[in-house]
Amino acid sequence: MILTPGSATLDQLQEICLTRCPVTLTPEARPGIEAAAALVAEAAQGEAAIYGINTGFGKLAHVRIAPEDTARLQRNLILSHCCGVGEDTPAGVTRLMMALKLLSLGRGASGVRWQITQQIEAMLARDILPRVPAQGSVGASGDLAPLAHMAAAMMGEGEVICRGRRLPAAEGLAEAGLTPVTLGPKEGLALINGTQFSTAYALAGLFSAWGQARAALVTGALSTDAVMGSTAPFKPQIHALRGQRGQIEVAAALRGLMQGSQIRESHRDGDQRVQDPYCIRCQPQVLGAALDLLRQAANTLQAEANAVTDNPLVLVDTGEIVSGGNFHAEPVAFAADQIALAIAEIGAIAQRRVALMVDPVLSFHLPPFLTPAPGLNSGYMIAEVTSAALMSENKHLANPCSTDSTPTSANQEDHVSMAAHGARRLERMGQNLAQILGVELLCAAQGVELREGLSTSAPLSRAIARLRQDCPALAEDRYLAPDLAAAARLIAGGEITNAAGLSAGITPDDL
């Protein structure tokens, strides 16, 4: 994949996250990169104090560094900042983080040599990934600790994951025929200043949430048919009067998914119920709002993925090197909070549909807990409890991270974004949501099949057929954990969405 700095798309970023595709910068980026590097090299030999080039860092910015010590300064910076702790960052997120750093450096405002970008490209091409501990960033002054682990691996320090094996970085580079880089003036600072770690995690969370929001269209339509819900609340005129894009799209998708259902047609007349509960009736309003929120987050994250977020910045056109604050990850923190809210609400309304289906008082003549022989069998009783536990956990995790801050670095960095763990939690929340929707899928399919003599629509029938390849109908109680795991995999992998005929894309303009 050839990346053009400033123009990377969400589709490109998702492919980087999910595959091992090689990534390179367009050659057109090279002149700008080298022009900025030349300005930095000149400044490093000059008399004027310029932050991070011939000075110390952070609270030590007042300390002048001699020209002969500038390379040592950058090496010390990287090694001293390798303070990450905790579990390893997933491979896909690490690949995406490296590609985002390429995009940032490729804008020609960071002052690194072309050789630095080539090292990142070569490591990606050979599937040599830095081992990056996931904890340690507060999301301001850049994702310092995690990006330092990336930079250290480029220098032959620390550890790498080399085609699945954990090795000392120097050994992994040598095995791949690569030479460790020696950092020049500002290059270490350019590598660790920036929001690429937080942004990569947030993008991975976005991709997962978007796919699962689309899966919720299918599970929600199935649940509506299972409880013999009405499609009248999905009429286009209702949603046109409000004018919310996501709401209009969700209503249209639900109408299409349920078109041709015999179950729906069977109770158009003579049904004494006046209105369905909100978890059925208000799906367009809730899921549509979640989609709109994800779109807003996507716009922020796409801009951030193409941004220059290190410091100081090299303004080639004016010949200036200026200090700013683009490393502050507040936009990413806000986006991560938005994604978390959407994930929590998609799961909350889905869980209420599960509760509706297992309750004989509310499910419109379905047997208790969706088992043909209640009493002797408990059916999906505890599967519903599991979904409730996960829903509540996601509500807790959705509390905002961006409103938290703490001063660091001797009060020099006195307001921080907390974007890193705000974005990291999205992985866990997405796993929880996939499981909630998996439980809904199991219950809704069972409910539809218990409407004997009536069939659902063609798209929903295909979704059930795909589920039944892995999970048979529940005739009597059995060990259910494998069913729940299989259903969650089908949701997370997009197979249920595909079976129902919804495209698997994640681009926020594509529903």
Q: Catalytic residues, which ones?
A: 51
CA dihedral 393, 396, 401, 407 (to 10 degrees): -110
Backbone angles phi, psi at 17, to 5 degrees: -70, -35
Region class of 464: left (phi > 0), else alpha (psi between -120 and 50), else beta: alpha
Take residue 134 and report the two structure tokens written for it: 């996931």
Count of C-beta atoms within a 10 Å radius of residue 255:
15
CA distance 186 to 52: 6
Take residue 72 and report the two structure tokens written for it: 């040592």
Backbone angles phi, psi at 25, to 5 degrees: -80, 150
Distant-in-sequence, close-in-space partners of 142: CB < 8 Å, separation ≥ 6: 192, 193, 194, 195, 309, 310, 311, 327
Take residue 486 and report the two structure tokens written for it: 């299989």
CA distance 370 to 381: 8
Q: Look at the block and give the residue holding tokens 């994800």.
A: 294
CA distance 308 to 107: 7
Angle of the 196-226 helix axis to the 330-358 helix axis, nearest 10 = 20
- With contact defined as beta carbons under 8 Å apart, do 446 and 474 qualify? yes
Kindly calculate the radius of gyration of the chain based on its CA atoms and give it in whole angstroms. Answer: 26
- With contact defined as beta carbons under 8 Å apart, do 357 and 370 qualify? yes
Q: DSSP letter string over 161-174? A: EETTEEEEHHHHHH
Encoded amino acid at 114, one letter: W
Q: Nearest Cα to 201, choosing from 162, 143, 129? A: 143
How many CA atoms lie within 13 Å of 498's alpha carbon, on the beta-carbon side?
A: 11
- Alpha helices for 29-82 (secondary structure H): 30-44, 70-81
Take residue 70 and report the two structure tokens written for it: 């500038």
